[in-house]
Amino acid sequence: MARTKLVEFLLEMPTAGAVSVAGTFNNWDVRRNPMRKGRDGFWRCKVWAPVGRQEYRFVVDGEWISDPKAAASAPNPHGSRNSVVEV
């Protein structure tokens, strides 16, 4: 069984109504990891992800966006870029 680690995803988007995170760690399922909005305008979610390179994107009010604070990214087949995190 693959080793996993707890990863916290964070997105500053105070005007958003709904945010989730989807990626290689959850089969790109937008419903699996909804994020919670804090009073500070940051959305947060903790996810158990397999150790290694994981690609992800945020889904903000139905629109897929890359993580503006991600240190790395990779092209995806949709003509945009996925954010990358090393777990």
13-22: average pLDDT? 98
Q: How far is CA 15 from its chain centroid? A: 18
Q: Using one digit for the tens of pLDDT, what is the confidence trace for 28-51? A: 999 999 999 999 999 999 999 999
38-67: average pLDDT? 97
| CATH number where 53 lies | 2.60.40.10
Q: How far is 44 from 26, CA to CA, in rounded Å? A: 16
Q: Which domain holds residue 65?
A: 4-86
Number of domains in the chain: 1
